[in-house]
Amino acid sequence: MTLLSSIDRISDARLLERIAAARQIMDDAGIGVLMVYSHPRPGGGVLQYLSGWAAKAGTILLLPKEGRGIILSAGPNNTRVFNQRCSFFADARAYGPNAPLAKLLGEGLAELGVAGGKIGVSGTPYMPASLKVSLDGLVKDQVFLGDALDALRLVRHADEVAMHQRAADISVGMIERVMELARQSGTTPSDLMTGAEFTGRKLGADSASIWLATGEAPPTTYFELFELNETIGPKDRVQLGATTNYEGHFGQCLRTGIRGGISPVMQDAWARMVEMQDRALATLVPGAPMQNLVDTLEADIDAFCPYTRATDPFRFQSCHSLGINYSDPSYVQAVNPERDRSKDGELPLVAENMIFEIHPNFTIPGLGHICVGDMALVTATGARWITNTPREIVRLD
């Protein structure tokens, strides 16, 4: 049985709790109607949080403080799904060439009695310029509530953890498929990328992608087929990150396999990265400052890597949150190694059921870019790994 045969989702009851919390924010701000615009990627954001689904094209939710909401969705197919999923609190209407989004937005605002008045807004920075001009013409008084709505997502529940566990399991399945293919003679890097993405979708992912690096000392990582090397050599590393999205909830796992034997230098570097992960994991205790995670990780990287973050030929973020965005907005500054530290006292604290990706990554002369990555779940007493696969270099011979 594949995961596709048992897809779960966030319940209507949980979504109604979220909608009630959003309406409380509206009430505190003296707002009668909230307009949420959904940026389609990299995650559904506030609209996904409130509705339980986010289409791949821009969507608007008009949520009144009382009564039924209105969802303005691209085309009949997206609208059909929104009506299937959201009929318990809203009616979805399709926009398209004969019913432009700006026109339907004006009609919806008028129907809710706020055209020309005052509304709360979220997602407006992502709006196309022409749509934002239309909104500004319809409603002069707009109160931005995006930050307050994003902050609701700091509180996580067990049903959300279950979605992330599914995403984690799928990412591990993709990694395992890549390593299986990499052991076969004649396999190319493009075979690995397409094989991984096929596996992820077959296991039930909404989306499944990898970045991939091959070579004896990979200098960087690649996302497109045309960037990949033509062949895998007899002493190559196969290094990848598998990123998945299940019911809007992100998962990720990073692993490395090696042909031709693992050198002592590479084995030592890998062991050091695993130690870095474990030390970072130990900071994830409920009530602890969230920035302890990134500060511990970055200090360990700096102690081992001969490059600084600024001079490293290739280094990306060493950790981030995972939610219904690849990196949820309310966590971004807390896990930013270059944040304004004078505001550390204002940053969120670690709490139960939060999910983090911990992936130390940096360059070592002679080895190139190296990395490992796993998902960590915060429990009542600490944190544990939920990407259930050994944190070892995979031998491909």
Looking at residue 28, which CATH number applies to its domain?
3.40.350.10
**Both 84 and 168 in a single domain?**
no
Is residue 291 domain-shared with residue 173, that is, in the same domain? Answer: yes
Does residue 301 share a domain with residue 173? yes
Query: Is the model's pTM score more than 0.75?
Result: yes
Of 122, 152, 182, the position where a domain reaches its end is 152
147 and 170 share one domain: no
Could you tell me if 63 and 165 lie in one domain? no
Residue 189 to residue 92: CA distance in whole angstroms: 43
175 φψ region: left (φ > 0), alpha (ψ -120 to 50), beta (else) = alpha
Say which CATH number the domain at 360 has.
3.90.230.10
pLDDT value of residue 114 = 85
Q: Do 190 and 142 belong to one domain?
A: no
Instruction: Say whether both 163 and 144 belong to one domain.
Output: no
Domain boundary among 101, 123, 152: 152
Query: Domain count of the chain?
Result: 2
Q: Output the tens digit of pLDDT for each of the chain's 397 residues.
A: 333 344 589 999 999 999 999 999 999 999 999 999 997 666 779 999 999 998 888 999 999 999 999 999 999 999 999 999 999 999 999 999 999 999 999 999 999 998 778 999 999 998 999 999 999 999 999 999 999 999 999 999 999 999 999 999 999 999 999 999 999 999 999 999 999 999 999 999 999 999 999 999 998 898 898 998 889 999 999 999 999 999 999 999 999 999 999 999 999 999 999 999 999 999 999 999 999 999 999 999 999 999 999 999 999 999 999 999 999 999 999 999 999 999 999 999 999 999 999 999 999 999 999 999 999 999 999 999 999 999 999 999 8
Q: Are residues 289 and 193 in the same domain?
A: yes
Bridge partner residues of 95 (DSSP) = 74
Return d(Cα 249, Cα 70) in angstroms, integer: 24
What is the side-by-side strand order in the sheet with 237-246?
207-215, 237-246, 249-258, 394-395
Distance CA 377, CA 204 (A): 21
Report phi then psi at 380, rounded to 5. -65, -25
Distance, CA of 159 to CA of 10 (rounded, Å)? 7
From 306, 299, 311, 310, select the one nearest 360 (Cα to Cα): 299
Angle between helices 264-281 and 291-304 (to 10 degrees): 160
374 and 329 housed in the same domain: yes
- The answer to whether 285 touches 350, Cβ cutoff 8 Å, is yes
d(CA 156, CA 339): 24
Q: Which domain holds residue 135?
A: 3-152
Phi, psi of 246 (to 5 degrees): -120, 115
pLDDT, residue 40, reads 60
**Residues 164, 154 contacting (CB under 8 angstroms):** no
Distance CA 179, CA 136 (A): 52
Q: Which pLDDT score is estimated for 238? A: 97
| C-alpha span between 163 and 386 (Å, rounded) | 12
Largest CA distance in the chain: 70
Among the three residues 121, 152, 183, which one is the final residue of a domain in this structure? 152
Q: Which residues pair with 395 in a beta bridge?
A: 258
Instruction: Give me the pLDDT at residue 3, please.
Output: 36
> Which burial class, exposed, middle or buried, applies to 303 when counting CB atoms under 10 A from its CB (0-12, 13-18, 19+)?
exposed
Q: What is the 3-state secondary structure (H, E, C) of the chain?
A: CCHHHHCCCCCHHHHHHHHHHHHHHHHHCCCCEEEEEECCCCECHHHHHHHCCCCCCCEEEEEECCCCEEEEEEHHHHHHHHHHHHCCCEEEEEEECCECHHHHHHHHHHHCCCCCCEEEEECHHHCCHHHHHHHHHHCCEEEECHHHHHHHCCCCCHHHHHHHHHHHHHHHHHHHHHHHHHCCCCCCHHHHHHHHHHHHHHCCCCEEEEEEEEECCCCCCECCHHHCCCCCCCCCEEEEEEEEEECCEEEEEEEEEECCCCCHHHHHHHHHHHHHHHHHHCCCCCCCECHHHHHHHHHHHHHHCCCCCCCCCCCCCCEEECCCECCCHHHCHHHCCCCCHHHHHHCCECCCCCEEEECCEEEECCCEEEECEEEEEECCCCEEECCCCCCCCEECC
Q: 186 and 315: one domain?
A: yes
**In degrees rounded to 5, what are phi and psi of residue 217?**
-145, 75
Q: Are residues 171 and 48 in the same domain?
A: no
Domain check: are 321 and 343 in the same one? yes
